[in-house]
Amino acid sequence: MTGKIFRSTLAASLTVLLASLLVITGCLYTYFGTVREQQLQTELTLAAAAVEADGADYLARVRDTAERLTWVASDGAVLYDTRTDTQPMENHGQREEIREALTGGSGSSARYSETLTEKMLYQAVRLTDGSVLRISGSQKTVWMLVLGMLHAVIVDEAEMDSDKISIGCKVIVTNLDTRKQMPAYKIVGSQEADVMSRAISEDSPFGKALMGRKAGDEVTVEAPKGVIHYRVDSIER
């Protein structure tokens, strides 16, 4: 009798625990998805201003260093892509986000990649000459998000080099071009990035330049206005 009650209690507890985990995971997925979309929109706005000013020269400077950017003509022909050669690329005029941008000024869509096991997010904006600039980035699936959270939990901090910049660090740098020290930035995963809160994605050009660096190191970052030079002043965990 006691064993039966124990098994029933255990089963009920496990059911409640599983349901709670599913709800929490769903909420986190929705939250991180919203943050990711906002991050892409912010980066697209900055990139669009740079393309308006410098055209393909800007895209060439950030090739393979930032989120993927695709410049599409008003007839759908691909003018430039920061990740691949445009010659074999098909006409993009019928892509959902491109169609919306051409007709309404901006557009967005999401498509799942079986290969990457990630949902790809697309944001597009029409430029003043009628062409469209699109940015694309990934959003991890629910299961990949859960695995990432578990990985973060089991990482042994003792194995991390405390002298080097990694995810979770707060970093203070000095702009060597202006000689001004900047407020602290926190390096975070791409799903947590929030430029307004000075939380910088490890996948952004700035984040990539800082990852693995030590205090005193100098780094260069490609920006819309050109290359910026920084010095790492301090690292805090």
The class of domain 161-236 in CATH terms is alpha beta
Structure letter (DSSP) for residue 124: E
Listed residue (151, 185, 149) closest to 168, CA to CA: 185
* Max avg pLDDT among 27-31, 129-133, 179-183: 129-133
pLDDT per residue as tens digits for the range 111-124: 875 544 567 889 99
In angstroms, the CA 210 to CA 1 distance is 62
Tracing tokens 């950017």 back to the chain, one arrives at 69
The pLDDT score that the predictor gives to residue 22 is: 67
Buried b vs exposed e over 125-149: b needs ≥16 C-beta within 10 Å? Answer: bbbeeebbbbbbbbbbbeeebeeee
Listed residue (68, 58, 75, 165) closest to 124, CA to CA: 68
Contact 228, 177 (CB under 8 A): yes
Domain boundaries 17-144, corresponding CATH code: 3.30.450.20
pTM of the model: 0.55
Same topology, domains 17-144 and 161-236? Answer is no
Listed residue (177, 178, 189) closest to 148, CA to CA: 189
Domain boundaries, the chain: 17-144, 161-236
